[in-house]
């Protein structure tokens, strides 16, 4: 009885909410009203300019949304982020940001009373980022629908989400790519190229590798978003929305597959799995078939959009929806599903399994299907973020706090020693750490350190060295960047190495060729603390380095090339990431070059001193894009004419430089007496998916000018050479074939213990084999790098080799 008035009041209140929401709906423009079509409908596409335009209209119309430009893309487009929350929260964004920042650093929280008040008044900060891979285009279009729905819906579920979370929605962290893909898609609609990838990298430098840069921060986009996430907003949950191939499962969610990285907190792995399972359960309730968990993707590797958060005590979610042909629907047959290549955790797509309980039977697959799944998954994640708000905030604080506790099983700190010659690499490295919010200190007095856990005596560390303590909120990040990785030895039942999701080792100071060490004890640290200076800014790090009289400057890193060669860099239409990273290194060091296309190659337009072939297979370089799907101007590769002109170029005095895979084409087509000893080996015999390996360098060779006799180099299913003519050594090479003479080996893989960080099966196949070879050919020269001296723009240790070989 007594309930009646209450019920009536509720009706009245919800009536008011309805009226109020109706007013909101009337004001907030729908995507259709702005774009003229419903985003994610078949064969529609909004380019970046339109997406920015739509979000700016939302910003103007909705009190639940505020949109800001957080920086510019590599090609100058605005990088935008939409903050979505209740109008009250949107008014208080700065206050909410500060709460999240405080929880990220428990040292700033006075006591439990303050903690309780922060947990009570804070909101779960969630990031949803769409289509970092631009051909995985649907999420960027879906982002407008998601924002509109959250801006206008009036149900209690939405209200709960808006009240308890602050969503930072990133329509795309690669605006340039959305523009490139949208323009290509429109241009080719109705032609044989409809739905194909554009004939260029969709990120100016990185292409698909734009999601391999989250600890190295080479790109403007990763720099701006890393600042937003880990120096300003400190999200507790990050969701990165991707697409996979067409004929696999319809959607993949966490929990992920093995191996997990031991530096990720178990609590983070559990919560990542719990959110993934909730998303999968909600999709099942919606009747969506073909959703997989515990498959394909692992959490070993550090540098992706969803994996970097683990090292900031945050939950990182990845989803992968099956693709259409960009925005053109496709039909997938049962036969295709049957023949789909098995992936880890998912061998048969037509049979139910615990991690894949409802197989999809095939049929029409449209962009709207992808978008619907991604909308449901996003809402599902936001519900979790809202419902468990205080739990996520408290855990975020607790994990940071646990990282401040002393531990004896990990180093106390790492030092980057003063006075090393490569000052530029050191300041760049410190910059990268600080951009991620890692604290760096500089010694203004000598410190006495123990460099081994059981060492008795203290070792004096020179004045001016940099020290990074591990007892900081980001302990896991510090450890994962400095430590050597030991990837677990994982074999398939047939004895083959099981292929990891990405590379196995990345130890950053090692890749950058720095002199650094782990510290297990510090004498009188309390007394020494006042003599340490916190390096607060990147400029400070640079200044400090510039002040250091750092001995001989590192070869070539600072000076432009001495001999002014005319450099060409081969650029195919297949979009080679290795080409892009090479360009990034040349641009960063201001080395002039021009791009050489297949047209130039076929036409013999090679008025150059030096030509660089970035890593690509013989087939890709030779054949290029298929004429069945691409117009003549983009298809056909270098072809026979290009290969013939390449030979002529070297014979008449040019210098040809090949990275990794591209050596294959040159060895074969030029008849060089050199063999890749790893070619043809089974994955049970040799395997190295991406690790740092030790090179022994012949320092008397001009190619190795100024380098130490041992170098860490990056190997990623790369090569190892044997010079086939017997008796050929460093000094007395015989001419084994006409046109080839004087083969010199400037660097070899170490005779033993070649693996420095990562995973390598069958190391003995590679030990002592040639890694950098130079041979005369006609009047010219050919230089073969068996590895990638510029891998992802990270391998500063081997950059000087590139600069040396580029000299005339």
Residues that bind Zn ion (CB under 5 A): 133, 136, 242
* Min CB(242)–Zn ion separation in Å: 4
With respect to Zn ion, which residue has the nearer C-beta, 466 or 581? 581
With respect to Zn ion, which residue has the nearer C-beta, 174 or 395? 174
The whole-angstrom separation of Cα 310 and Cα 699 is: 41
With respect to Zn ion, which residue has the nearer C-beta, 130 or 695? 130
With respect to Zn ion, which residue has the nearer C-beta, 178 or 468? 178
The whole-angstrom separation of Cα 622 and Cα 618 is: 6
Q: Where do the H-state alpha helices sit in 334-388?
A: 334-339, 367-387
With respect to Zn ion, which residue has the nearer C-beta, 242 or 647? 242
* Min CB(134)–Zn ion separation in Å: 9
- The answer for 481, left when phi > 0, alpha when psi is -120 to 50, beta otherwise, is alpha
Name residues whose C-beta falls within 8 Å of residue 217's C-beta, 6 or more positions apart in sequence.
223, 226, 432, 435, 436
* Min CB(211)–Zn ion separation in Å: 6
The whole-angstrom separation of Cα 80 and Cα 48 is: 10
With respect to Zn ion, which residue has the nearer C-beta, 211 or 265? 211
With respect to Zn ion, which residue has the nearer C-beta, 321 or 449? 321
The whole-angstrom separation of Cα 268 and Cα 262 is: 12
With respect to Zn ion, which residue has the nearer C-beta, 105 or 502? 502
> Are 345 and 292 spatial neighbours (Cβ–Cβ below 8 Å)?
yes
Alpha-carbon distances of 158 from 56, 378, 452, rounded to whole Å: 22, 12, 55
The whole-angstrom separation of Cα 57 and Cα 80 is: 13
C-alpha angle 207/687/133, rounded to 5°? 15
The whole-angstrom separation of Cα 780 and Cα 784 is: 14
* Min CB(309)–Zn ion separation in Å: 16
Helix axes of 367-387 and 266-285: crossing angle, nearest 10 degrees: 130
* Min CB(252)–Zn ion separation in Å: 11
With respect to Zn ion, which residue has the nearer C-beta, 133 or 748? 133
The whole-angstrom separation of Cα 677 and Cα 766 is: 8
The whole-angstrom separation of Cα 480 and Cα 261 is: 9
Edge to edge, the sheet with strand 447-450 lists 459-461, 447-450, 521-522
Name residues whose C-beta falls within 8 Å of residue 116's C-beta, 6 or more positions apart in sequence.
none
With respect to Zn ion, which residue has the nearer C-beta, 85 or 172? 172
The whole-angstrom separation of Cα 423 and Cα 418 is: 9
With respect to Zn ion, which residue has the nearer C-beta, 265 or 272? 272
* Min CB(133)–Zn ion separation in Å: 4
* Min CB(136)–Zn ion separation in Å: 5
* Min CB(293)–Zn ion separation in Å: 18
Residue 776 burial (C-beta neighbours within 10 Å; 0-12, 13-18, 19+): middle
Measured in degrees and rounded to the nearest 5, phi and psi for residue 459 equal: -115, 135
b or e along 270-285 (b: 16 or more beta carbons within 10 Å of the residue's beta carbon)?
Answer: ebbbebbbbbbebbee
The 10 Å Cβ neighbour count of residue 593 is 19
With respect to Zn ion, which residue has the nearer C-beta, 135 or 511? 135
* Min CB(691)–Zn ion separation in Å: 23
- Secondary structure percentages of the chain, helix, strand, coil, to 5: 40, 20, 40
With respect to Zn ion, which residue has the nearer C-beta, 136 or 498? 136
Residue 70 burial (C-beta neighbours within 10 Å; 0-12, 13-18, 19+): middle
* Min CB(344)–Zn ion separation in Å: 17
With respect to Zn ion, which residue has the nearer C-beta, 184 or 686? 184
H-helix or E-strand containing 146?
Answer: helix 138-152
> Are 703 and 781 spatial neighbours (Cβ–Cβ below 8 Å)?
no
* Min CB(333)–Zn ion separation in Å: 24
> Are 370 and 333 spatial neighbours (Cβ–Cβ below 8 Å)?
no
The whole-angstrom separation of Cα 420 and Cα 368 is: 56
* Min CB(135)–Zn ion separation in Å: 9
* Min CB(723)–Zn ion separation in Å: 40
* Min CB(332)–Zn ion separation in Å: 19
* Min CB(321)–Zn ion separation in Å: 10
With respect to Zn ion, which residue has the nearer C-beta, 90 or 252? 252
Among 165, 672, 607, CA closest to 392: 165
């Amino acid at each position: 009885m007594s309930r009646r008035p209450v019920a009536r009041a509720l009706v009245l209140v919800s009536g008011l909410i309805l009226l109020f929401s109706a007013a909101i709906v009337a004001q907030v423009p729908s995507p259709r009203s702005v774009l003229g079509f419903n985003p994610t409908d078949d064969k529609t596409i909004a380019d970046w300019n339109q997406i920015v335009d739509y979000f700016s209209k939302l910003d103007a119309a909705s009190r639940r949304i505020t949109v800001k430009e957080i920086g510019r893309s590599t090609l100058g487009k605005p990088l935008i982020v939409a903050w979505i929350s209740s109008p009250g929260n949107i008014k208080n964004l700065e206050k909410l940001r500060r709460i999240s920042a405080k929880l990220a650093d428990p040292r700033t929280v006075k006591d439990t009373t303050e903690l309780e008040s922060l947990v009570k008044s804070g909101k779960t900060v969630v990031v949803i980022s769409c289509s970092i891979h631009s051909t995985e285009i649907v999420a960027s279009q879906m982002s407008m629908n998601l924002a509109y729905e959250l801006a206008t819906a009036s149900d209690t579920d939405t209200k709960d989400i808006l009240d308890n979370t602050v969503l930072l929605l990133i329509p795309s962290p690669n605006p340039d790519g959305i523009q490139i893909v949208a323009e290509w898609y429109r241009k080719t609609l109705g032609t044989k190229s409809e739905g194909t990838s554009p004939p260029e990298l969709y990120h100016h430098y990185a292409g698909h590798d734009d999601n391999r840069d989250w600890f190295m921060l080479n790109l403007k986009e990763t720099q701006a978003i890393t600042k937003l996430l880990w120096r300003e907003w400190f999200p507790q949950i990050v969701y990165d929305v991707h697409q996979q191939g067409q004929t696999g499962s319809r959607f993949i969610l966490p929990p992920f597959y093995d191996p997990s990285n031991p530096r990720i907190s178990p609590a983070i792995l559990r919560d990542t799995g719990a959110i993934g399972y909730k998303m999968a359960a909600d999709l099942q309730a919606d009747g969506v078939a073909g959703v997989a968990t515990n498959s394909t993707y692992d959490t070993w590797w550090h540098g992706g959009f969803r994996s970097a958060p683990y090292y900031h005590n945050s939950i990182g979610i990845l989803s992968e929806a099956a693709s259409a042909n960009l925005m053109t629907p496709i039909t997938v047959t049962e036969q295709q599903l049957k023949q789909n290549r098995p992936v880890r955790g998912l061998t048969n797509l037509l049979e139910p399994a615990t991690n894949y309980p409802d197989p999809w039977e095939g049929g029409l697959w449209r962009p709207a299907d992808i978008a619907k799944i991604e909308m449901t998954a996003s809402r599902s994640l936001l519900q979790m973020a809202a419902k468990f708000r205080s739990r996520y905030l408290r855990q975020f604080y607790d994990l940071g706090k646990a990282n401040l506790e002393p531990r004896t099983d990990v180093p106390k700190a790492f030092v980057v020693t003063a006075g090393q010659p490569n000052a530029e690499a050191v300041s760049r490295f410190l910059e990268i750490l600080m951009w991620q919010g890692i604290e760096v200190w500089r010694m203004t007095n000598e410190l006495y350190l123990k460099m081994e856990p059981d060492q008795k005596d203290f070792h004096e560390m020179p004045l001016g060295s940099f020290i990074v303590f591990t007892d900081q909120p980001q302990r896991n990040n510090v450890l994962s960047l400095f430590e050597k990785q030991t990837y677990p030895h994982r074999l398939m039942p047939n004895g083959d190495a099981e292929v990891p999701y990405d590379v196995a080792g990345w130890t950053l100071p090692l890749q950058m060729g720095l002199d650094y060490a782990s510290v297990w004890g510090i004498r009188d640290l309390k007394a020494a603390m006042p003599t340490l200076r916190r390096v607060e800014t990147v400029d400070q790090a640079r200044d400090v380095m510039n002040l250091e009289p750092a001995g001989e400057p590192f070869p070539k890193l600072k000076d432009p090339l001495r001999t002014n060669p005319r450099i060409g860099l081969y650029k195919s239409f297949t979009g080679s990431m290795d080409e892009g990273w090479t360009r990034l290194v040349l641009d960063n060091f201001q080395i002039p070059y021009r791009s050489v296309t297949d047209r130039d190659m076929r036409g013999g337009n090679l008025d150059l001193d030096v030509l660089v072939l970035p890593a690509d297979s013989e087939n890709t370089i030779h054949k290029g894009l298929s004429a069945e799907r691409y117009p003549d101007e983009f298809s056909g590769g270098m072809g026979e004419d290009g290969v013939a002109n390449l030979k002529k170029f070297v014979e008449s005095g040019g210098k040809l430089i090949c990275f990794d895979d591209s050596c294959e084409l040159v060895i074969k087509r030029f008849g060089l007496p050199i063999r890749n000893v790893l070619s043809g080996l089974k994955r049970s015999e040799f395997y190295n998916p991406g690790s740092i390996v030790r090179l022994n360098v012949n320092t008397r060779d001009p190619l190795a000018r100024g380098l130490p006799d041992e170098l860490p180099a990056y190997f990623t299913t790369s090569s190892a050479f044997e010079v086939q003519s017997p008796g050929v050594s460093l000094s007395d090479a015989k001419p084994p074939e006409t046109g080839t003479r004087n083969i010199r080996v400037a660097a070899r893989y170490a005779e033993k213990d070649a693996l420095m960080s990562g995973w390598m099966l069958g190391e003995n196949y590679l030990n002592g084999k040639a890694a950098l070879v130079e041979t005369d050919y006609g009047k010219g020269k050919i230089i073969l790098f068996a590895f990638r001296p510029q891998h992802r723009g990270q391998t500063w240790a081997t950059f000087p080799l590139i600069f040396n070989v580029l000299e005339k």
